[in-house]
Amino acid sequence: MQNESTPVTVTSFSQPHVLQTRMKEEKLSHGGTVKANLSPVRMDMNHGAAVLYFCPMQTIEVLEILNEGDGAEIPAQVKVDGLSIPTDCQSGFYDLNNVELTSNGTIQVRVTEKTTWKYHEKAFPL
């Protein structure tokens, strides 16, 4: 079954420093690639666009290490690659599960074949 989806993007207001901080807390470094769950993130559905915000993120759960990092600093900028959300989803807080995180030049959040969004009923502090 194929559902309609909206591409997800990040903006200069997406607060990538929060993702960078959580990655450092998990002892990830430049050049590393992991499969992970990000919890929670904020999705803002506005005028047909979906913008991802990292401001409420409290944890990164590393599911699998695909490539060890080189120990250097994690980049400050974030890009998303192939990430989309069903068009019937609403703005709110989500667990973004089974994504691939890479930090090489930029932090890249990539979709995998198992990526899912899990909606949170309650709000998280920003």
Tokens found for residue 94: 């989500």
Cα distance between residue 102 and residue 79, in whole Å: 10
Tokens found for residue 31: 């050049």
pLDDT surpasses 70 at 96: yes
Which residue did the predictor score with more confidence, 2 or 106? 106
Segment 98-126 mean pLDDT: 86
Query: What count of residues does the chain have?
Result: 126
pLDDT tens digit string along 44-90? Answer: 987 778 999 999 999 999 999 999 999 999 999 999 999 999 887 88
SS3 letters across 62-84: EEEEEECCCCCCCCCCEEEECCE
pLDDT surpasses 50 at 16: yes
pLDDT tens digit string along 17-48? Answer: 999 999 999 999 999 999 999 999 999 987 77
Enumerate residues 6+ apart whose C-beta is below 8 A from 59: 22, 37, 38, 39
Enumerate residues 6+ apart whose C-beta is below 8 A from 99: 35, 36, 37, 38, 83, 109, 110, 111, 112, 115
Segment 3-10 mean pLDDT: 86
